[in-house]
Amino acid sequence: MVTLGLVVAEFNATVTEQMEASARDAANEHGAEIAETLHVPGAYDSPLAADRLARRDDIDAVAVLGAVVTGDTDHDQVISTAATQKLTDVSLDRDKPVTLGIIGPGMSGAEARERTDAGARTVEGAIDLVEEQNDDGVFRPDSARRTQCNARNQQSRIATRS
């Protein structure tokens, strides 16, 4: 079983709460456990929480959720860029998958509300990354990885239609 850490930004809570719900549903559908959820004020604050979770031996991967919407300035671009860069650093420094589910920048609140399924996709990506590695942390050959991902995607499509 894959064990995940989940980081959820509270800014734009009407969006991120729905993202969190879709992430939890996806984890349940794929037999993964969310060991701990950390809520942070905003997407910019997520790298520290992701790092804390990634340090834990009982967590296989971390999924990060947030929503950055456009305002009157380029602030959304700055926040998204900084958070993305630091989350990549956490993943590389801890040698653990950290998947990016921060939607935006450059979108309105209405567009963000239409993309709450990003929570599920982020968790599915984290599960796939963990399952693509062998016990030594080495990624499997492409053919084996592709077969497993295709099977998971097919299951997701069938579940969505039901």
User: Tokens 């921060």 label which residue?
Assistant: 102
CA-CA-CA-CA torsion sign (16, 18, 21, 27) = negative
Residue 39 falls in the annotated catalytic set? no
Q: Among 28, 75, 93, 134, which one carries the catalytic annotation?
A: 75
Give the distance, in angstroms, between the CA of residue 26 and the centroid of all CA atoms in the same chain.
11
Q: So which residues are the catalytic ones?
A: 75
